[in-house]
Every structure is written in structure tokens, then in C-alpha cells.
Amino acid sequence: MTLYGKTALITGASRGLGEAIALACAAEGCSVAVNYVEEAGHDNAAEAEAVVTALQATGVDALALPADVTDQQQVDDMVAAAIAHFGHLDILINNAGIFRDKTIKNLDKSDWDLVLAVNLTGAYNAMHAVINHMRERETGRIISISSVIGQSGNIGQANYAASKAGIIGLTKSVAREVARRNITVNAVAPGFIDAGMTKTLDDEVVQAVLPQIPMARLGRAEDIAAAVVFLASDSAAYITGQVLAVNGGLYM
């Protein structure tokens, strides 16, 4: 068990890749705080509690913590609650993300602001909230989910691509700042994964992407979770400021 006795906070972990990452961490002995966002008309709390139950069934400690990652006070309170519950926090995984795809001529300021707020400012808020705790303990792992789109760009995804490229700059800068404190900061850049938000894409879009993937298949949520677990483990102790692409060769 590579994460035995560790504790992790995963944003947006009630479904999709976040859920898969939570289960993979628990399988390695890691206790997990499952963040979700309370949304009108959607029982996200029930989804998060179902993930918590599945995690607890593996023998680890787990709890659900509501917070909108765009709200700095809510994120500060969530991090404080996770530390109070577990006693310490070893791993932060910035996974929460959204997309609002439109070409630039139709991309309203509100769609720009919202995607940047969740995908990039959300990661800043969580990093800022955990960093003093990790600095004091002189240990920590911060892993943020970027995207192949942040590396290559894509038509209709200027806001999403900018947010995911921003994650890479944020990661490299903070990695330099805290390296001496034994805190590593890395990003994982998934390609097209057969889970989460990709499930909402039209089949035509998926069929157009497939020929561009050298491995000729979409990725699995477990492919991403395995990369995150590796970066969180002691095996990755000397890896920082890196972007680990998990994309079947889509972008090299």
C-alpha cells in the first residue's frame, strides 16, 4: 500500500475522474476527504456520501466536504475541516473542473470567467489554503488535473485551454517555491478519457478524435488515477514541477 496512513483532499470527487482517483487512493491505504459542490436541483451530497461509503468499505477513513472551489472562504473552511478530522493533510488533488465550449466570437465574458474561476482560481484557492500546513510539516503532495487541451489548444475551448495551461504555470511556479520544504507540486494532463465530462460529448466528436490517438482508444479513469497515485507516493519523491501526460500518445 503506497499511500498507507496518508490523507488526501480531492476536489470534485463525487463523480467522474475525482471518484476514480479517490477509490485508487483508498485502495493504497489513503484516507480521503471527498469535496463536492452544493447545487440547486441536484443532490450532489448524496453522490458524495455514496463515494464516502465506498471508500469506507475499503477500510480507510473518509468524509464528504461541501465547498465551491471558486469561493476562497469555503475552500479555507473545507481545508480546516479536513485537517481537523484527519489530524493532518498530506495530499491535495485539484480535480474540480468544468467546460463551456464556444469559439472566441461567441465566448461570453461570463463563460470565460466561470471556467477560469473553477478550473484555475479553484486550484489556487486550494493550494493557498493547504500550503502553510504543508510547509509547517515539511511534507506534502499537490497534484492538479490539467488537460491535453492546455498543451495543444483546441477549437472552441479557449477558456478551458487557458485554464488548463494556467494550471501548468501555477504548478511549476509553486513547485519551485516549496521544493525545499519537501513538498512536490505536479500536474497530470489527461487526454480523452472515457469517463466524466467526455461522456457528454457527441459520438461524432469521439469518432473524430480516435484516429488522432496513437493507442487508438480513449483512456480509462483508472489510467488517470494510477498516475495521480504514483505522483502522490514516496516513489515520486524526487519529481516536482512536472506535467505527466496520460493521453495514449495524442500529444507528445
Residue closer to ligand NAP by CB (options 197, 243) is: 197
Cβ at position 93, least distance to ligand NAP in Å: 10
Contact at 8 Å (CB) between 186 and 142?
Answer: yes
Residue closer to ligand NAP by CB (options 54, 139) is: 54
Of the candidates 4, 36, 160, 251, the residue annotated as catalytic is 160
Q: Residue 24: which of 232, 250, 237, 248 has the closest Cα?
A: 232
160 has catalytic annotation: yes
Contact at 8 Å (CB) between 231 and 186?
Answer: yes
Cβ at position 59, least distance to ligand NAP in Å: 24
Cβ at position 160, least distance to ligand NAP in Å: 7
Residue closer to ligand NAP by CB (options 29, 81) is: 81
Residue closer to ligand NAP by CB (options 178, 187) is: 187
Cβ at position 127, least distance to ligand NAP in Å: 15
d(CA 22, CA 51): 8
Provide the binding-site residues for ligand NAP, judged by CB under 6 A.
Answer: 11-12, 14-18, 35-37, 39, 44, 68-70, 95-98, 118, 145, 147, 190, 192-193, 195-198
Looking up cell 473524430 gives 208
Contact at 8 Å (CB) between 142 and 92?
Answer: yes
Which residues have a Cβ under 8 Å from the Cβ of 15 and sit 6 or more positions away? 47, 51, 196
Neighbour count for residue 162 (Cβ, 10 Å): 18
Which residues have a Cβ under 8 Å from the Cβ of 173 and sit 6 or more positions away? none
Active centre residues (catalytic)? 160
